[in-house]
Copies of this chain bind each other. A is one copy, B any other.
Amino acid sequence: MLTRRHLLATCAAAMASPSLTQAAAPASGKQAAAYYRYKVGAYELTAIHDGVWMREIDDKLVRNIGWNAVAFAMRDAHMKPSILPTPFTPVVVNTGSKLVLIDTGTGGQFPAPSGSFLANLAAAGIDPKAIDAILISHFHADHINGIRDKDGGMVFPRAEIHVPAPEWAYWMDDSNMMKAPESARPAWLNVRRIFKDIAGKVNRFNDGKELAPGITAMFTPGHTPGHSSFLIASANQSALVLGDVTNNPYLFLQNPDWQGVFDVDGPLAVATRRKVFDRAASDRTLVQGYHFPFPAVGYVNTAGKGYELVPAMWQPTL
């Protein structure tokens, strides 16, 4: 049985007998490609991992709750208290007529080990030039930076770009930028870097707009003023691509009332979160969450004062 004696004996043996023989196979050092496919009706969805940002945080992570509660939740989730591991998972939807990318990742412009989107897209057999349309949930850098490479080149040259109209209005208004605290200024300048010389080509959509066959915008404001999710429906099946309705599920899904520092309007983000997840739990809707652990797809149950994520079991076939 599991005893400390076992562990100590094993460690002692490992230290006492350094191996002098050649390994039968050298250590690989390489991780598997990280993409995951599933069907929603006749549509084929591919979740593409853009790696994980080891985001340094402090005791201000949640605005409306004491740090002790957050630190306990992070410990229960087996995280370190000073780092919020933040994965990114854009999704490609193949409708049969259109190849639609929802959010674009970090564009390799966040610290490693993030930035694996294009390598994983290639592993999935998808050429950036084949993307017909890009749908953007909101204008935070980890969602829009992938539109361009580090030198400003367009990564998806054929793609129409669709953005929420109120998100455009909020971020592109210079008076809003001027009102923002100095520390937030880089985010506003980044939005201009991405969109400044393509403004005429960017389609600004409103709530309920069908952006591609079976893919409909569903505004979910709070995280940002114009934040949008996307409802995908095909052949009596559906899935909801959440964007940032919630962040890490162990923190902000289990505790939906917590207002993270990344939510522009904390109370509205909470109200939206509860509305979306009450319905998703009731309808047993498949959800894809941008900051959920890869492959970031699953179901939501009500649990305690909030919700819990039930990750979809990895299937070997579609």
Contact = CB atoms under 8 A, between A and B. Distances in A.
Interface of A: 1-2, 6-7, 9-11, 13-14, 17, 19-25, 27-37, 44, 46, 49, 51-52, 76-78, 85, 87, 94-99, 112-114, 116, 123-127, 130-132, 158, 208, 210, 213-216, 218-220, 229, 231, 233-234, 236, 238, 240, 250, 272, 275-276, 279-280, 284, 293-295, 298-299, 301, 310-318
Contacts of A127: 25
A210 to B, nearest CB: 5
B10 A216 contact: yes
B214 A28 contact: no
B1 A220 contact: yes
A275 B236 CA distance: 46
A275 B210 CA distance: 54
7 contacts: A1-B220, A2-B229, A9-B208, A10-B214, A11-B236, A33-B33, A250-B310
A19 B49 contact: no
A219 B1 contact: yes
Nearest to A37: B31
Among A22, A127, A314: residue with most chain B CB under 10 A? A314
A314 B19 contact: no
Nearest to A236: B11
A7 B238 CA distance: 8
Contact of A240 (B2, B131, B280): B2
Given A10-B214, A14-B214, 8 more contacts: A7-B233, A19-B95, A24-B99, A24-B130, A27-B96, A28-B94, A116-B316, A294-B314
A32 B35 contact: yes
B94 A23 contact: yes
B28 A37 contact: yes
A295 to B, nearest CB: 8
Contacts of A10: 210, 214-216, 231, 233, 238
Contacts of A158: 24
A208 B10 CA distance: 9
B98 A24 contact: yes
B113 A316 contact: yes
